[in-house]
Amino acid sequence: MTGRHTVLVTGGNRGIGLAVARRLDEAGHRVVVTYRDSPPEGLDAVRCDVTSARAVDEAFTEVERRHGFVEVLVANAGITRDAPVAVMTEEQFRQVLDTNLTGAYRCVRRAVPGMRRGRWGRIVMIGSEVGQSGNAGQVNYAASKAGLVGMARSLARELGSRGITVNTVAPGLIETDMTGNLPTRHKEGLLALNPVPRAGRAEEVASAVAWLTGDETGYVTGAVIPVDGGMGLGA
Ligand code: NDP
C-alpha cells in the first residue's frame, strides 16, 4: 500500500472489523471505525447503527469533517439470528438482511459519490463462506452474505471505470464473539473436515482486506476471496 487513505470500517470496535482497522491503521491510513456502544481503545471512532440511513449519513459526514471523503470502505458489520427455517421468524430474517445486506448498501451509497469525485476507491464486503455453500439454520444469514456478492459484482461493473474496485472477502470459521457461543463439538466437527483443520484468526481476514484495499490491486474487482482454511473448496 503506498498512499495514505481515509478508511471507514463498520463494526470496527471488535472481532474481524477491529483486526482490519488495526491492520490498516498500522499501515499508516486515517482509519475510523463505527461502534454502537463501546468505541475501541486507540482508534478514531464514530457512533453508527447501519440499520439507520440517517445514522450512516451522520457518521460519514463526521468522518468527512475529520479526514475528508472515505476512500476505503470495509462493510463488516454483521449479525446472526440462527434458527431452522420452520421456526425462523420474519423478524429474525428481516433483522439479519437489514444489518448485513441493506446496511452495506446504505454505507456504499453514501461512500460512492466521494470516491467517484476522487476517481479512486476500494470497497470490501465481509461476506462468508456460508454465502456460497449455505448452512442449515442460517437461511437468513446465508441469503444476506450471498446477496453481498451480487451487490459487490454489480458495483464492480458500475464503478470500475471510475478507479473504484469492489470485492468480497469470504471468511470461514473465525474465532470471534460471533462464533464464541457455538457448541465446541459442533465447531470441532466442522473444522475436522477443513483442509486446514483449525479456526481462523481475525488477523488472517484482515490481511486479505489489506491486500484488496492497496494501491496495487486496482485490477482485482468483483472477486470473492475465501479466507476459510479450504472449507468452501468445491462449493
Ligand atoms: P462480532 O460479533 O465479533 O462483531 C460484529 C460487529 O458488527 C460488531 O462490531 C458489532 O457492533 C457490529 N454490528 C452488528 N450490528 C450492527 C449494526 N446494526 N450497526 C453497526 N454495527 C453493527 O462478529 P465478527 O467480527 O465475527 O463478524 C464480523 C463480520 O464477519 C460479520 O459481517 C460476520 O458476518 C462476518 N463473518 C464472521 C465469521 C466468523 O466466523 N466470525 C465468518 C464469516 C463471516 P456492536 O459491538 O455494537 O455489536
Angle subtended by helix axes 15-26 and 202-212, to nearest 10:
50
Give 23's pLDDT tier (boundaries 50, 70, 90).
very high
| CB-defined site of ligand 1, < 6 Å | 10-11, 13-17, 34-37, 48-51, 76-79, 99-100, 126, 128, 171, 173-174, 176-179
The continuous run of DSSP H or E covering 9 comes out as strand 6-9
Give 2's pLDDT tier (boundaries 50, 70, 90).
low
Q: State the Cα–Cα distance between residues 46 and 42, nearest whole angstrom.
A: 13
- The pLDDT value recorded for residue 1 is 42
Annotation says 141 is catalytic: yes
Please determine, for residue 93, whether its predicted confidence score (pLDDT) is greater than 50. Answer: yes
Q: Contact at 8 Å (CB) between 234 and 143?
A: no
Q: Cell 461476506 sits at which residue?
A: 127
Please determine, for residue 120, whether its predicted confidence score (pLDDT) is greater than 90. Answer: yes
Rounded to the nearest angstrom, the distance between the alpha carbon of 12 and the centre of ligand 1 is 8
Task: Give the mean pLDDT of the chain.
Answer: 96
Rounded to the nearest angstrom, the distance between the alpha carbon of 129 and the centre of ligand 1 is 15
- The pLDDT value recorded for residue 183 is 86
Please determine, for residue 77, whether its predicted confidence score (pLDDT) is greater than 70. Answer: yes
Mutation pick for ligand 1 pocket among 16, 23, 100 (CB with most ligand atoms within 8 Å): 16
Q: What is the ipTM of this complex?
A: 0.99
Does CATH place domain 6-223 in 3.10.450.50? no
Q: Whose CA is nearest to atom 45 of ligand 1?
A: 36
Q: State the Cα–Cα distance between residues 6 and 29, nearest whole angstrom.
A: 6
Q: Cell 474487482 sits at which residue?
A: 221
For the whole model, what pTM was predicted? 0.98
Q: State the Cα–Cα distance between residues 54 and 174, nearest whole angstrom.
A: 31
